[in-house]
Structure 1
Amino acid sequence: MTLPALSSWTEIHSRLPVIFPEGQANREHSIWEIAAKTIFVMLYVGAIENADRWIRPDQVTRMTDDQAAQTDDGARDGWAVASIKPSKADVAGRWYAVNTRESIRDDTIRYALIQNGAVIERPGLPTTSPAGRYALQAGFAELLAPGLDEAAFHAKATAWREKHLSVGALARIAIVRKGATRGGEYELVTFPNGETRRMSPGASTDISKAVIEVFATKFLEKPGVIALSESGNKVVARDDELAKAIGLTIPADKSLPDIVLVDLGPAHPLMVFIEVVHTDGPVNDARKTALLQIAEGAGFAPDHVAFVTAYLDRASATFRKTVSSLAWGSYAWFASEPDNLIVFSGQPLPIEGGTDFDARRNEAGTAGRNART
């Protein structure tokens, strides 16, 4: 068998961020050095779909720079056979320690490269088998061929994603890419009642637009916008009449969050405070306490108030940076995955029978009915 042409692991490493752009699930572990070296080893031994050659994660740990430089077929075939044999001898210059094989198997292969369509698993192989079980998907391997010019590579990468990624995955990538762009003089945001407002273009505006146009309609029964601000606390819109109708006094200072929504569907309205986070400023414990005081001043019990931190994407560095500070009893929402909420529950057990927003609306409705009887 003729082995495939081989790119260096550094060349593979440089291509992975293009193949797996921002918004890709488990992107971090799909593009890091370990992923590039794992893919290199698969190419080195010819472990590609339909070739009936497979690798084990411990083979990645056994590769060395000296071996990787030996690229003739004889050296590659010889190493493929030798590297899979049990051995207690130390490997001088090995890429990774022996005990990293589980991390390579789980973090990089199973939960990143397989889930993103780049790697396939050998069918019918018992879990306890010592045989190799992983290989590159054939179309993905073609993206790593040496000598591809930049235009051809980008075209092939785009075609591969469209063929092998789900509609949801492609939509997520598109949303995140849009959030990273700039252009135009303003962004037009459409409110639930059909009114529109202009906002300065940028990533924070993209998140705010998604909150108003998508989040509000998905998670609230009859949504209304009480206040909307841009970064720098510039007020884009405030509805004093709606605020007055529910007993809320909108402070003139900077104490309100980026967005205040209200759900007028329940008998007792649900107020939703939302912080839009592109760089910093989530709903932490101190922020939640301050906002709760504003809500209680308007007669809203804690059960009728929700706190949401809105991000562009779950894989973003911003979310990883701020997630540990998010307040219990609050939510995280992502424009790139609009159908889902992360609930930081302050309850000892999860609420069954719908989302926590559903539960809050039900409680608000019960409270309203009790007040009338």
Structure 2
Amino acid sequence: MTWPAVPALSTVTERLPLIFPEGVENRQYCIRESTAKTVLTMIYCGAIHGSNRWIRPSQVVDMSDTQLALSSHAEREAWCVYMHSNKKKERSPKAWYAVNSREQIRDENIARGLIPNQAVIERPGIPTTSSRPKYALQPEFSALFDESIQGEFLAAAISDWQLRFLSAAAMARATIIRNNAVASTDRVPVVFPSGSAITLAPGESSRITKAVVEQFSRYFLVQPAVLWLSESANKVIDPTLVHALHLHIDQSKSLPDVILVDLSPASGDILVVFVEVVHTDGPISQQRKEALEAIALEAGFETEHLAYVTAFSDRSASPYRGLAHNLAWDSFVWFASEPVNIIMLRSDSQKKLSQLR
């Protein structure tokens, strides 16, 4: 049985973020250093599906740079046999991780990251609680760490693997995120539902704002209009609409990034949607929601005709993961990378489900 060549750890570390682009489910578990070491240990042990070789998480935590340097087939085989034996193991003082790290390797890197994204295969018929080795790399995935493949050939191989093995939803999210990141130094054109347009300053916040105006409004409102839009270089207000709705918008107040309205006669009363665009901070927390409601009541709105939305770039992005616990109940969360989907934070006070109303 042949043994695969062992790449440098730096090679695995550099390639994982290319293989798993932003937008991939649980990407953080697929690209971190401990995942790179998990993949490298599998390659070292020849644990490629079809070879009948498997590893267990304890091998990752017990691996060391010293052991990795013992690269002959006989040395690799001897270590794997020893690690799978029932003998009491002497751990290297330079082992990569503490013994209690194996649950993180198993539950996060492998179970939440690599297996769902079809990079690792779990040996069938092995009970969950068993200590028997049961994880191996998917062969086409392991081939992506062949150091003889470089440049455009590597890019083509990664692209082919992504199309074959990553989900269509993951690739759609990745494409949207990648497209939004293009030309990050260019000003961002935004077309309103009315057909008028403005340009915003370069940056991630402007790209999320563009998505809110052009996509969110189209998917979730029947007859959308932009009442207010604010960013560093622009304060856009529709005076005709404000006058027609008999509203008072005090621009000295701490207004949200975007205020949308749904003017659809078929929907009954007008719906007003306060949207906070979050790139780093500033979601609709409970305190922020109460402040916006106070501004709305002063402006002439009614509570039952208000909705609150926090807009992020993507579910996997750090701003959402870091701020999710601050989001207000009875508000919505929307992601530019998944424009047709929305999260509703529904409290017990909400007696029935509906659309944004």
Instruction: State the TM-score, normalized to the length of structure 1.
Output: 0.87
**How far off its partner does 1:305 sit?**
1.2
**How far off its partner does 1:41 sit?**
1.1
Percent identity for Structure 1 against Structure 2: 44
State the distance in 1 between where 2:133 and 2:58 align.
10
Alpha carbons 2:70, 2:76 under 8 Å: kept? yes
Residue pairs, 1:1-373, within 5 angstroms: 1-92=1-92, 93-182=94-183, 186-230=187-231, 232=232, 234-235=234-235, 237-253=236-252, 255-265=254-264, 266-345=267-346, 347-348=347-348, 353-354=353-354, 358=355, 361=357
How has the CA–CA distance of structure 1 residues 349 and 33 changed in structure 2, closer, same or farther, with 3 Å as cutoff?
farther
Alpha carbons 1:189, 1:213 under 8 Å: kept? yes
Q: CA RMSD in A?
A: 2.3
- Tell me the secondary structure at the aligned position of residue 228 of structure 2: strand
Alpha carbons 2:83, 2:89 under 8 Å: kept? no
**How far off its partner does 1:312 sit?**
0.8
**Matched residue type, 1:27:** R
- Tell me the secondary structure at the aligned position of residue 145 of structure 2: coil
- Tell me the secondary structure at the aligned position of residue 83 of structure 1: helix
Q: Show structure 2 runs of 5+ residues with no match.
A: none
How has the CA–CA distance of structure 1 residues 185 and 34 changed in structure 2, closer, same or farther, with 3 Å as cutoff?
closer
State the distance in 1 between where 2:162 and 2:73 align.
31
State the distance in 2 between where 1:103 and 1:217 align.
42
**How far off its partner does 1:130 sit?**
3.3
**Matched residue type, 1:48:** I
How has the CA–CA distance of structure 1 residues 163 and 24 changed in structure 2, closer, same or farther, with 3 Å as cutoff?
same
Q: Deviations over 1:312-368 (max 9, x none)?
A: 1122222233333333332221111223323333x23776655xxx2x52xxxxxxx
Alpha carbons 1:331, 1:343 under 8 Å: kept? yes
How has the CA–CA distance of structure 1 residues 180 and 87 changed in structure 2, closer, same or farther, with 3 Å as cutoff?
farther
How has the CA–CA distance of structure 1 residues 325 and 239 changed in structure 2, closer, same or farther, with 3 Å as cutoff?
same
Q: Deviations over 1:281-320 (max 9, x none)?
A: 2223333222111211244333321111111112222223
Q: Show structure 1 runs of 5+ residues with no match.
A: 362-373
**Matched residue type, 1:146:** E
Instruction: State the TM-score, normalized to the length of structure 2.
Output: 0.90
**How far off its partner does 1:143 sit?**
0.7
- Tell me the secondary structure at the aligned position of residue 194 of structure 2: coil
- Shifted more, 313-322 versus 75-84: the winner is 313-322
Q: Deviations over 1:124-157 (max 9, x none)?
A: 4343443322111111111101233233222221
